[in-house]
Structure 1
Amino acid sequence: VYFSPDKSYVVAFFRDNQNYQAKDRLVTVVGAYRERILNQVGGEYWKNLFCWPYALVEHNGKLGVVAPTYQKQFFFEYGSKNNDFLGIKGKDKEGKWFASPTNRNRYIDSRELGDWQNHIRIGILISRAVKRLHAAGLAHSDLSYKNVLVNPINGAACIIDIDGLVVPGKFPPDVVGTPDFIAPEVVMTSYLKKDDPNRKLPNINTDRHALAVLIYMYLLYRHPLRGDKVHDMDPQKDEALSMGAKSLYVEHPTDTSNRIKVANAKPTELPWKDTSKIPYTVTGPYLTPLFQRAFIDGLHEPSKRPTADEWEVALVKTIDLIQPCQNTSCDQKWYVFENTTKPKCPFCGTPYKGKLPVLNLYSSRKEGQYLPENHRLMVYTNQSLFQWHTNRNVFPNERISDAQKKREGYFVLHNNVWYLVNEHMNDLMDVTDFNNKKVIPVGGKVELTEGKQLLFSRQEGGRLAVVQLVDGK
Structure 2
Amino acid sequence: MTDAITTLTAANGETIKFRDRIIASGGMKDVYASPERDYVVAFYRKAPDVHAIERLDMITGPYRERIFEGEAGDYWKQLFCWPTTTVQHGGRIGVVAPFYHDHFFFKHGSFNNDMLKIRGKDKQGKWFASPHHQFKFLDARERGNWLGYLQLCLKLARALRRLHAAGLAHSDLSYKNVLLAPTSGRVCIIDVDGLVVPARFPPEVVGTPDFIAPEVVMSSSLPRDDPRRVLPSISTDSHALAVMIYSLLLLRHPLRGKKIHAKDPVEDERLAMGEKAVFIEHPVDSSNRLSVDGARPTELPWVDPDSLPCTATGPYLKVLFDRAFIDGLHNPAMRPSADEWESALVRTVDLIQPCQNNACEQGWFVFDNATPPRCPFCGTHYTGQLPIINLYSKRGEKYRPDNHRLMVYSNLSLFPWHIDRTITPNERLPAAHRRRVGYFVQHQGRWFLVNEGMPELKNADTDAPCPVGARVELRTNLKLLAGTRPGQRLLLLQMVEGGSD
Query: What is the TM-score with the length of structure 2 in the denominator?
Result: 0.93
Percent same amino acid at aligned positions?
58
Tell me if structure 1 keeps the 8 A contact 2:71–2:428: no
Aligned partner of 1:37 among 62, 67, 85? 67
Maintained 8 Å contact 2:34/2:40: yes
Partner Cα distance (1:21, 1:428) in 2? 59
**CA shift digits 1:277-314 (9 cap, x unpaired):** 00011011100010000000000000000000000000
The match for 2:213 among 183, 198, 213 is 183
Q: Are positions 1:461 and 2:487 aligned together?
A: yes
Q: 2: CA distance between counterparts of 1:447 and 1:472? A: 19
1:200 matches 2:226: no
Residues 235, 465 of structure 1: alpha-carbon distance in 2 compared, 3 angstrom cutoff: same
Counterpart mapping for 1:377-388 below 5 A? 377-388=406-417
The structural deviation recorded for 1:264 is 4.3
> For this pair of structures, how many residues does the alignment match?
469
Residues 379-427 of structure 1, C-alpha deviations (whole Å, 9 max, x = no match): 0000110001010011110110111000100000111110000011111
**In the alignment, what sits opposite 1:118?**
148
Which of these residues, 372, 389, 403, is aligned with residue 418 of structure 2? 389
Is 1:152–2:182 an aligned residue pair?
yes
**1:9 matched residue in structure 2:** 39
User: Counterpart in 2 of 1:437?
Assistant: 463
Q: What do the CA deviations read for 1:59-91 (whole angstroms, capped 9, x no partner)?
A: 111110000001111111112123322211111
Q: Which residue of 1 aligns with 2:285?
A: 255
Instruction: Report SS of the residue matched to 1:287.
Output: helix
- Say whether 1:63 aligns with 2:101: no
Runs of 4+ in 1 over 6 A off after TM superposition: none
2:390 to 343, 354, 360: 360
SS of structure 2 residue aligned to 1:439: coil
Alpha-carbon contact 2:371-2:498 (below 8 Å) kept: no
Q: Read off the aligned partner of 2:413 and give its amino acid letter.
A: S
- The RMSD of aligned alpha carbons is 0.9
1:402-417 aligned at under 5 Å gives the runs: 402-417=431-446
Counterpart secondary structure, 2:193: helix
- 1:35-434 to 2 correspondence within 5 Å? 35-366=65-396, 369-431=398-460, 433=461
What is the rounded CA distance, in whole Å, between the counterparts of 2:265 and 2:410 in structure 1?
52
* Segment drifting more, 298-307 vs 86-95: 86-95
What residue number does 1:22 align with?
52
Distance across 2 between alignment mates of 1:192 and 1:339: 48
Q: SS of the residue aligned with 1:83?
A: helix
| Distance of 1:82 and 1:453 partners within structure 2 | 56
Distance 1:28 1:81 in 2: 44
SS at 1:27 equivalent: helix
Cα distance in 2 between the residues matched to 1:96 and 1:457: 47
Give unpaired runs (5+ residues) of structure 2.
Answer: 1-30
Q: Is the 8 A contact 1:339 1:470 kept in 2?
A: no
Please state whether the residue corresponding to 1:263 is helix, strand or coil: coil
Name stretches of at least 5 consecutive residues in structure 1 with no aligned partner. none
